[in-house]
Amino acid sequence: MNQSKRLEIFSRLAVAIPEPTTELIYNSPFELLIAVVLSAQATDKSVNKATAKLFPVANTPQKVLALGETGLKEYIKTIGLYNSKATNIIKLCQSLLEKHNGQVPQTREQLEALAGVGRKTANVLLNTAFGQPTIAVDTHIYRVANRTGLAIGKNVLEVETKLDKTVPKQFKQDAHHLLILHGRYTCIARKPRCGSCVIEDLCEFNEKQNL
């Protein structure tokens, strides 16, 4: 795929999705961090339901630690893998207090050192909380990038690396959410909604289908 086509794809997505942002509900970098950790193998909707009850009670590392692991589980037990997530969140809060004065760090290395935080979660925080042009490749972005031909890769890191090199500069900040939302609502896993897709004529998956 050439760069002019990439530019047109992102230009159209930006018009179709005028407010590209996370669907997780949060009011601080710490709340976003907790929400993203909880969102692994869970829907944003289910996370928002849980955090709507959790955050009014505990929205700082100190307050989460005051709940304790057992208390935290009561708030997040509707979310998949809640036992291991609760363990990681308690460890994460301890690290934030011991090493970062209770603040969420703003470097990838420091974020990935936190319990339960991998490269994808770190990228989400860097992009959404701190305005850095990172792209967190989840299942939606992986699918859209490969299906459209934007960035073909055999694993998420390969796709991330290719997107990082090829996304037009003016769309670097928003590319993450543009691709996620497009994948979540239009370029869905089964029976993609090609007929209502604003980039249908530019998509290489579509071109292959028409051969």
91 catalytically annotated: no
In the numeric block, which tokens belong to residue 145? Answer: 């990038």
DSSP E strands: which ranges in the chain? none
Burial class (CB in 10 A: 0-12, 13-18, 19+), 195: exposed
Could you tell me which of 164, 89, 93 has the C-alpha nearest to residue 126? 164
Dist. CA 64–CA 59, nearest whole Å: 7
138 catalytically annotated: yes
In the numeric block, which tokens belong to residue 2? Answer: 């050439």
Give, in degrees to the nearest 5, the angle at Cα 134 between 3 and 63. 160
Residue type for 104, please? V
CB atoms under 10 Å from CB of 158, counted, come to 16
Helix (H) or strand (E) holding 10: helix 3-16
Catalytic, out of 138, 154, 164, 172: 138
Catalytic, out of 73, 99, 120, 154: 120
CB atoms under 10 Å from CB of 22, counted, come to 19
In the numeric block, which tokens belong to residue 185? Answer: 């609502």
In the numeric block, which tokens belong to residue 125? Answer: 């925080």
Active site residues: 120, 138
